[in-house]
Amino acid sequence: MAGSGTAHLRPGDALLRAEHLVIEFGSGERRVRAVSDVSFDVVRGETLGLVGESGCGKSTTGRAVALVQKLNGGSVCLDDTDMAHVSARQLRKARTHVQMVFQDPISSLNPRRRVLESVMEPLAVWGIGTKSERKKRAIENLESVGIDADQTARRRPTELSGGQCQRVSIARALMLEPKLLICDEPVSALDVSVQAQILNLLHDLKRSRELTMLFIAHDLAVVKNVSDRVAVMYLGKLCEVAPPEVLYRQPAHPYTRALLAAIPEPDPDVPVGSVPLTGDLPSPTDPPSGCRFRTRCPRAADRCAAEEPQMREVAPGHFVACHYSLEPGEAHVSATRAVTTDRTAVEGAHEANGGGNLPVDKPAGAPSPTQAASSEAHL
């Protein structure tokens, strides 16, 4: 997996088009290629979910799209303007169209400023409106993200909870009415209950303000909830791009399948499978040849070491970069069989039955009586 290519880009006027992005850090021996030939596009009103493990380059990609990361190759086009060819002044102006919400809600706000000052700041930087107008806009925005401005606007970030800080960050990011909102792991530092509040808020804002979003996260369940299209990233490359329903029902890439299997189900009757992926991400200083996932891939063959897979369309709108992608019918079976060592035959049989044929809106398989029994036996 983890291949190159641009087959998944859509013709027409995308709001954002990133092509062949290459971003490197360091120099000489220790040169790290954090992002290596990644291409994607986002059309207006769409939410693209970007998923991957820590260190796969998803945040760096987000920074590149936010125009705050120097590129070593490739281009970022916003509204059909290639940002590589604009003046510094235009670039600065263009950054107002792309705003970001960061992972750690508390440290992304200045601890010495009051909430209202932080939210007014973007307007002050650009000299928009008078001070009282800026204040009015800031209060409106705070109210729209569910913050009681009367009580909270005069407070400092340390007096707020993580969820409230994240709301303030969102209000601040929306002050300049950006064309694209980049959310970099906005909920991974929050409790599940608060996470649900923030996800619902983003959903409402997207509808009321017709937001276009790039949503970066490592949790596939969260990404599924917010996205219209999902891109899976591994070690600086894209593996698979598809609408969420398709991606979750029929993952074509072994890595996507492994990521899906790792999500814990809030149901004690679903047996906990064995770990589908072993080890950590290989070092990006010395990535494996050919397909970058082959060192952890249950299906790796000689061809994977020699030849880098290119993005290809396996179904309408479903793109994968893998030489031996999983077929819809066998997807779950083969991946699970290949990587598990200690499953009982009953569970294996269940996977075979439940894997591809069910009208799956329950990926790990809702518990059948046999399965419940086998899971008890398993424990």
Partner 1 sequence: MRLPRRRLHLEFPAATDLEGPILEVEDLHTSFRTQRGLVKAVDGVSFQVERGKTLGIVGESGSGKTVLIRSVMGILPSTAVERTGSVRFSGHDIGSLSPSELRDVWGTQMALVFQDPMTALNPVVRVGRQITESLRKRVGLDRAAARDTAVELLKSVGIPSPERRLKAYPHELSGGMRQRVMIAIALACGPRLLLADEPTTGLDVTIQAQILDLLGTLQRERSMAMILVTHDLAVVAGRTDEIAVMYAGRIVEQASTSVLFSRTRMPYTEALLASIPRLSEPSHTRLRAIPGRPPDLALLAQGCSFAPRCAYVQDRCREEVPPLRTAGPGHRFACWFPVGSPEGAEALASNLQAHLPAAEALAASTGASAGATAPAPSDGSPATVSTSKAGGS
Nearer to partner 1 (CB atom), residue 40 or residue 255: 255
Q: Is 22 helix (H, G, I), strand (E, B) or coil?
A: strand
Minimum Å gap between C-beta 186 and partner 1 is 13
Residues contributing to the site for partner 1 (CB under 8 A):
53-55, 161-164, 188-189, 191-197, 199-200, 203, 218-222, 224-228, 244-245, 248, 258-272, 274-281, 358-359, 361-364, 366-367
Q: Is 332 helix (H, G, I), strand (E, B) or coil?
A: helix
Minimum Å gap between C-beta 225 and partner 1 is 4
Which helix H or strand E contains 203, and what residues bound it? helix 192-209
Task: Report phi then psi at 178, rounded to 5.
Answer: -70, 155
Minimum Å gap between C-beta 361 and partner 1 is 5
Minimum Å gap between C-beta 233 and partner 1 is 12
Note whether 145 and 160 are within 8 A (CB): no
Instruction: Round the CA-based radius of gyration of the chain to a whole number and report it.
Output: 22
Cα 240 to chain centroid, rounded: 12
Q: Which residues pair with 70 in a beta bridge?
A: none
Neighbours of 79 (CB within 10 A): 15
Rounded to whole angstroms, the Cα distance separating 286 from 26 reads 13
Minimum Å gap between C-beta 190 and partner 1 is 9
**Per residue in 177-191, is it b (16+ CB within 10 Å) or e — as a string?**
ebbbbbbbbbbebbe
Tokens of 150: 């009367």
Minimum Å gap between C-beta 298 and partner 1 is 14
Nearer to partner 1 (CB atom), residue 282 or residue 328: 282
Nearer to partner 1 (CB atom), residue 198 or residue 333: 198
Minimum Å gap between C-beta 88 and partner 1 is 36
Note whether 103 and 186 are within 8 A (CB): yes
Minimum Å gap between C-beta 371 and partner 1 is 10
Across the chain, which distance is largest between two alpha carbons, in Å? 71
Residue type for position 253:
H
Note whether 365 and 346 are within 8 A (CB): no
Beta strands in 79-211 (DSSP E): 81-82, 98-101, 180-184
